[in-house]
Amino acid sequence: MSAYITVATPMIDRDLLLQALADVGFGEGRIVVSDEPLPLVGYEGSQRAQVANVIVRRQYLSAASNDLGFISTPTGYRLIVSDYDRPRFGATWLVQVSERYRAREAERDARLRAEELERERERKRQLVEAQRSAIEAKAKRLGYSVTVERNQEKVRLVLVRRTY
Amino acid sequence: MSGRFINIARWISRSRANGPGERFVLWVQGCGLACEGCWNPDTWSFAPRQLLTPDQLLREVDRAGGIEGITLSGGEPFTQAEALVPFVESVRSRGLSVLVFTGFERAELRSRVASRLLALTDVLVAGRYDHTQVAKGLRLLGSQNQRIHFLSGRYGPEDLDDVARCEAHIAPDGVVTWTGFPGEFVNE
Ligand code: SF4
């Protein structure tokens, strides 16, 4: 029976970890995800003492592999890998996964920033529209004729009132 | 052209509330007349605010494009007449018209340099702002004591018919800047 070792990682976000694993060939269907840690299964089919929240089942690793898993901890996921699988799924592989994790993290952050910017833009658009409609309504009430002109995100209201 | 700086409070590239047609409007910085109820007290200080050379300012005018002329307001344009003359000369050489708001009476503008600026001016709106005589609905006038002088043959009273009473410019961040004479509108 192969012994397991654990390796601490700074990867803390489950979705990003799953995306990173998918990027290195372990996509949906090859992974078991559970909030409650589940036991890993050894190459001969028996449950091991080690548990993990994200598990790559052994049949997707190689013929004689044991399950490989990631257990969630407050400081990040820990990789749990058997001695047998360590040459292929040890430090070098973990570097690949971590790189993909960081790339996915950067993508997500850029997306969140873009969404935040868009929300901010929309908030300003609504503010400009609120100002426009308030001024326009008041101007009309006071008898002005109003021309509204837009130049990109700027708005100009020209208020004319003929007195003759 | 002189490289002398013009002290500027702000400008807008296009306005239809500051004279005939679309106009580039420049508010100069600095006015010693201290009219009670002045709409632009932030333009009183003579401390440098934005210093631009006539050439730099001219580039802004050129960028505005499709305008009928420029309007000088303030602050008090005639206290910076020396620096403004070369700028206004270049503006006129482009076929643009010139309208000037001043707090001085016409008769007070007797200096050599004031005369040079007057010679380049098509329309002069002159006189202190008197808050006891607010001009409601009079084109280009803040108070009834002020006078409009048509100094060149380019414009007459009928050219002011289409001048907007006021204009609201809403910036992308929602800040509203009024120009023209919004008092009646804003206060009612
Ligand atoms: S002259 Fe114009 S800028 Fe100067 S105080 Fe009077 S109203 Fe204000």
Q: Over the stretch B76-102, which tens digit does the pLDDT of each residue have? A: 999 999 999 999 999 999 999 999 999
Q: How confident is the model at residue A65 (pLDDT cuts 50, 70, 90)?
A: very high
Q: How many helices (H) and strands (E) does chain A have?
A: 3, 7
Q: Which residue, chain included where needed, has tokens 């018919």?
A: B161
Q: Which residue of chain B is at minimal alpha-carbon distance from A163?
A: B137
Exposure b/e, A22-52, CB count within 10 A at least 16 = b: bbeebeeeebeeeeebbebbbbeeeebebbb
Residue A18 and residue A96 in one domain:
yes
Residue A56 and residue A134 in one domain:
no
Residue A33 and residue A87 in one domain:
yes
- pLDDT, chain A, mean: 94
Judge contact between A6 and A78, C-beta under 8 A.
yes
CA triple B15-B18-B22, angle to 5 deg:
40
Q: Mark out the alpha helices in chain A (DSSP H runs).
A: 14-23, 86-89, 91-141
Residue A78 and residue A146 in one domain:
no
Residue A44 and residue A82 in one domain:
yes
Using one digit for the tens of pLDDT, what is the confidence trace for B40-88? 899 999 999 999 999 999 999 999 989 999 999 999 999 999 999 999 9
- Would residue A25 be called left, alpha or beta, if left means φ above 0 and alpha means ψ between -120 and 50 degrees? left
Residue A71 and residue A126 in one domain:
no
Residue A53 and residue A38 in one domain:
yes
Residue A67 and residue A99 in one domain:
yes
This prediction has a pTM of 0.73
Number of structural domains in chain A: 2
Ligand 1, atom 2: closest residue by C-alpha: B103
* Helix pair B54-64, B81-93: axis angle to 10 deg: 40
- Cross-chain residue pair A135–B14, CB shorter than 8 Å: no
Interface probe for A, chosen from B165, B175, B179 (most Cβ of A below 10 Å), is B165
Q: How confident is the model at residue B134 (pLDDT cuts 50, 70, 90)?
A: confident
Residue A26 and residue A77 in one domain:
yes
Residue A81 and residue A156 in one domain:
no
Q: Residue A131 belongs to what domain range?
A: 120-160
Q: Tell whether A158 is within 8 A of chain B (Cβ).
A: yes
Which of B10, B29, B33, B143 gets mutated to test ligand 1 (max ligand atoms within 8 A of its CB)? B33
Residue A64 and residue A125 in one domain:
no
Residue A8 and residue A86 in one domain:
yes
Res B2: pLDDT: 43
